[in-house]
Amino acid sequence: MLRLGRREFEPHEPVIMAIVNRTPDSFYDQGATFRDEPALARVEQAVADGAAIIDVGGVKAGPGEEVTAEEEVRRTVGFVAEVRRRFPDVIISVDTWRAEVGAAVCEVGADLLNDAWGGVDPGLAEVAARYGVGLVCTHAGGAEPRTRPHRVRYDDVMADILDVTVGLAERAVELGVPRESVLIDPGHDFGKNTRHSLEATRRLDEMVATGWPVLVSLSNKDFVGETLDKPVKERVVGTLATTAVSAWLGAQVYRVHEVAETRQVLDMVAAIAGWREPAVARRGLA
């Protein structure tokens, strides 16, 4: 059972996490949700389309202008508080690697801390434990925040992913983070080249076999773009194909830009797997 905020999810119940970037320079939307009203409209639409989690980020993942902790707090805390007020039942996640930012957003109602940089600040897990919120434990290959991989090598990329993410998850539980609120993430593109990310996807069932709920953040990423030789705005089909494979292999949470399309993919895979009934079943019965 996965428990986040006020919600509980069965093991085969897919969960959508919608991305809401509070940055002026995000790689995908170029700051479309930097201002409050467009960002709140995005939340409303994402929830209507089937997102259970809203993932708020105040710093873009890639290189760019420095964003201090104070500026990250300014971009996220007030927005999290307003989302909590308007959408009391939605699960609010904040994508941050900084403990001080994590504490600030938890004070105003965040339910989940999405540590995409693999525990670079060990205090973030301590914050999650102190506030009793969930934690995403990600493999980033030891990369520093906001850096791109360069000629990174692994003897066995999945073995490294398992060692790091399970270790982070176990540490989080030892600190007091509720076990049912801890997820592991292979960290596609983070500290990896395209072949590493493809292999991580192909072997995703090994992560699922650990028993920890698996989150994947695939949406329009570079490994999709390089695999198909497509620019950012033409990666949706590749993303959805990767989503279907990940769902079949047992991933549970999907961090995405395209919520409605992802919902259809996940519902279809669940029906094929026998975990969900068709919405309508008339064919051959009339």
Under DSSP, is residue 75 helix (H, G, I), strand (E, B) or coil?
helix
42-61: burial string, b at 16+ Cβ within 10 Å, e else: bbeebbebbbbbbbbbbbbb
Q: Which of 22, 60, 235, 255 is catalytic?
A: 255
Considering only CA atoms, which of 222, 217, 220 is closest in space to residue 195?
A: 222
233-254: burial string, b at 16+ Cβ within 10 Å, e else: eebbebbbebbbbbbebbbbbb
DSSP-derived letter for residue 180 is G
Query: Which token pair is 83?
Result: 């989302």
Q: Which of 60, 98, 221, 235 is catalytic?
A: 221
Q: Which residue intervals of 22-156 are DSSP H helices?
A: 36-49, 69-86, 99-107, 123-131
221 is catalytic: yes
Q: How far is CA 191 from CA 138, 141, 160, 178, 203, in A?
A: 11, 5, 11, 28, 17
Give me the helix-helix angle, 99-107 and 123-131, nearest 10°: 20
Active site residues per annotation: 221, 255
